[in-house]
Amino acid sequence: MRPGIVHRLDKGTSGVLVVAKNDNAHQSLSRQFKNRKVKKIYRALVRGQMEAEKGTVDAEIGRHREDRKKMSTRTKKGRVALTHWKVLKRYDELCLLEIEIKTGRTHQIRVHLSSSHHPIVGDSVYGSKKRMSRIKNDMLIKRLNSLSRPFLHAYLLGIHHPDDNSYQEFIAPLPGELNEILTLFGSEKC
């Protein structure tokens, strides 16, 4: 019953966020999120090579059995979660992905990719501690190891405007620290 934040991003995730300026907008936007009428596209850099060019993770997510601060796909009381991904660029031991989520579960992208053995670079909760042996660029290795957040960015948000129901998309380019990493790979900005 009050204007404000309609949805949220995981801690450390950058990108597009929608805020309602009044009660009508808040109710309309909240309804769109609840009814899965919102388009949510993310960018993530993950460890390992994806087996295909695109795919879907369809696995329920719930509280981790032992660590109540974490979520897991191996849970007794999971909720439906659906994540589509496609490869934007392949590197030696990493892939840059575009991810579209159809549900909005807590830590969904991070949990789904980690459970698929492709954790997000810089994710201290669901990530991998293994060293990347095939990357030969020392500056890149140092920058990847010093990343203090997951390489996860809410790139695009598509909503129906609460006033006139027109469909609108909002894009947030990758922040400088993430683009710097891609530049070290020799990639153009995404």
Catalytic residues: 10
Long-range Cβ pairs for the range 57-63 (8 Å, 24+) = 57/81, 57/82, 57/83, 57/85, 57/112, 57/113, 57/115, 57/116, 58/82, 58/83, 59/112, 59/115, 61/105, 61/106, 61/107, 61/108, 61/111, 61/112
Residue whose C-alpha is closest to residue 117's, from 34, 59, 36, 171: 59
